[in-house]
Structure 1
Amino acid sequence: MAIPIRGTDALADGSLTAGQLRHRFAPVFRGIYLPKGCRPTLHDRIVAARLAVPRAVIAGAAASALHGAQWVDDDVTIDLIGRCRPQPGLKGREETLGRDEVMTVRGIPVTTPARTAFDLGRRLKRIPAIKRMDALMNAAPFAVEDVMLLTKVHPRARGLVDLREAIPHVDGGAESPQESWLRMLFVDAGLPSPTTQFVVYTAEGRYIKRLDMVWEEYKVGAEYDGEQHLTDRTVYARDVWVGRELQRAQWSLIRVVKEDRGAQIVAHARAVLLARGWDGRP
């Protein structure tokens, strides 16, 4: 990890001259620098943000990453709760923050998982919010009730309507944004809500596979296939065996790839569920 520096401190203590700072370092945020040629990680940028606004608390997507959530890009805008001059990549928010809504992770003040979910659900559109909250729930489980309690603690906070719309759909079983998207595609189309991360065994009790999501009553599963299924021969061979065993166990598996269109996916899933005994009601 690179170590960000505050330019004024380096000049004041004599560790760098103005010329050295200008030629050897590049700004991450206003007044905060990293060595030139260094591609900052998200953690580098979080540390730099704390140097830029020392009393601020890390929030939003960056907070979720500190809690272990995946799928947060290194260049994501860092949300801070605290006063901050506007600048690219850094957004300060002057909001009320309770003492029990802050914790320390790796020495950095950060919003708790529940408060982080509260903020994500208010600030993002519904599906992106669900994707972020799914990833957070998967890494650092939180109680939906604790998130909803914050709506009473902060009744005038912006975006509460959006939060209330998104939070019931959060599922920590989703292990990728694509899985979150696929699950919500089914739910929004009026299909029954699937169960995530369901393990299927043979009649003899041998492990077959943990499926992304299933409708257990109808023995129908759905999987979002990543590119490794096409490029990794070992994964492909394993998938062939799994397919045979699922068929033998009378399971029907819906496999989705990124080229599939939403309407086609839903039509196929609906047809399979109806054939398996679903009455067509959500």
Structure 2
Amino acid sequence: MDNAPFLGSEAVRDGLLTRAELRRDYLKIYRDVYMRRPCEIDAATRACAASVFSRGKAVVAGPSAAALHGSKWISAEHKAELIWHEHRQPYAAILIRADELLTGEVETIDGISVTSAARTAFDLGRKGTFANALAMVDSLCNATSLQPGTVTLLADKHRGSRGIVQLRQVLQIADGGSESPQESRLRLLIHDVGLPRPETQIKVHGADGKVFARIDLGWKRWKVAVEYDGEHHWLNPEQRAWDIERTYRLEQLGWKVIRVSAQQLRRGGIALVARIRDALRAGGAPV
């Protein structure tokens, strides 16, 4: 057996394993769905296991679909989600829905039926808090090159769906250039205080013409860069040394660099917004 989810009953029936081997050497993910120990169960693996549980009859949806499309930041603890019309008995381990899926809203990834990237974004953007919905849609766009406008067209086919107002607001801000939920929340903070919309992943060339930096978000016109520093920026000595050198080079080219920590973002950012506004104003922005 390879290290992918499989049906234990089929493996025993086909003589690939004994029941004793199944109990001893394999981890039960869902009812009759197993993986060889040791194994790491991430969101994508859990989605695959849920599809196996349905015997391929269901469509993987929601964050589970996003994980299969390549989205990062989907928690391994997230309950797998399926759209499965024929399933009637509740099963607490998997979230099973009976949503209507239109033509073109399902595709196949590695043999698994999954909601399309656009349909997945349609579902993600309608649910949960606004900040989390934005981060989810951003991540999916980043992973798949999906454009928010494509999701808007799909939303027009589902007028009146629950959460459609939030979805449309999310799509107005969504940007596939965000590479982490924290960057999405930072961009949302900037939007909420009425500052100009920043660009994402701005390439900066050195004197040799080569790109030496990609700014998380900022404004080329006014040369203001806003950089989110995750934990590795502080704990990795090599990364920290490069951050210092990189900031120096940007400043030599006339950029004002504002570095943001997780703690600053959690505090709500009043002082942070003031710093960004002051930098934009100094650069000539009408703020």
TM-score exceeds 0.5: yes
Q: Mark the runs of 5 or more structure 1 residues left unpaired by the alignment.
A: none
Q: Secondary structure, in 3 states, of the residue corresponding to 1:44?
A: helix
Change (3 A) 1:93 1:249: same
Which amino acid in 2 is paired with 1:273?
L
Question: 2:28 corresponds to which letter in structure 1?
Answer: P
Matched, 1:172 2:173: no
TM (normalized to structure 1)? 0.89
Q: Which moved more, 1:23-32 or 1:214-223?
A: 23-32
**Aligned partner (choices 265, 273, 276) of residue 283 of structure 2:** 276
Q: Deviations over 1:86-143 (max 9, x none)?
A: 4344211101112311111111111111111111111232111111111111111123
Match of 1:55 in 2: 57
In 2: Cα distance, 1:19 partner to 1:244 partner: 62
Q: CA RMSD in A?
A: 2.3
Written as runs of structure 1 = structure 2, the 5 A alignment for 1:79-228 is: 79-83=81-85, 84=87, 85-202=89-206, 205-228=209-232
Question: Contact 2:47 / 2:65 at 8 angstroms: preserved in 1?
Answer: no
Q: Which residue matches 1:4?
A: 5
In the other structure, the counterpart of 2:41 is 40
Q: How many residue pairs were aligned?
A: 280
Please give the per-residue CA displacement for 1:47-94, whole angstroms capped at 9, x wherever unaligned: 221122131111111211212221223232222111444434421110
Distance 2:42 2:250 in 1: 42
Q: Is the 8 A contact 1:25 1:34 kept in 2?
A: yes
Q: Which amino acid aligns with 2:105?
A: E
Amino acid paired to 2:261: V
Paired with 1:3 and 1:250, the residues of 2 have a C-alpha distance of: 52
**What's the counterpart of residue 267 of structure 1?**
274
Residues 142 and 176 in structure 2, CA contact (< 8 A), matched pair in contact too: yes
Q: Post-superposition shift, 1:223?
A: 0.2
Which one-letter code corresponds to 1:271 in the other structure?
Answer: D
Report how far residue 273 of structure 1 moved. Answer: 1.7
Aligned partner (choices 56, 63, 68) of residue 66 of structure 1: 68
1:243 and 2:247 aligned:
yes
The TM-score with structure 2 as length reference comes to: 0.87
SS of 2:145's equivalent in the other structure is coil
Task: Report the AA paired with residue 10 of structure 2.
Answer: D
Q: C-alpha distance in 2, partners of 1:209/1:40?
A: 34
CA–CA distance in structure 2, aligned partners of residues 67 and 26 of structure 1: 25
CA change 1:253–1:22 in 2 (3 A) is same
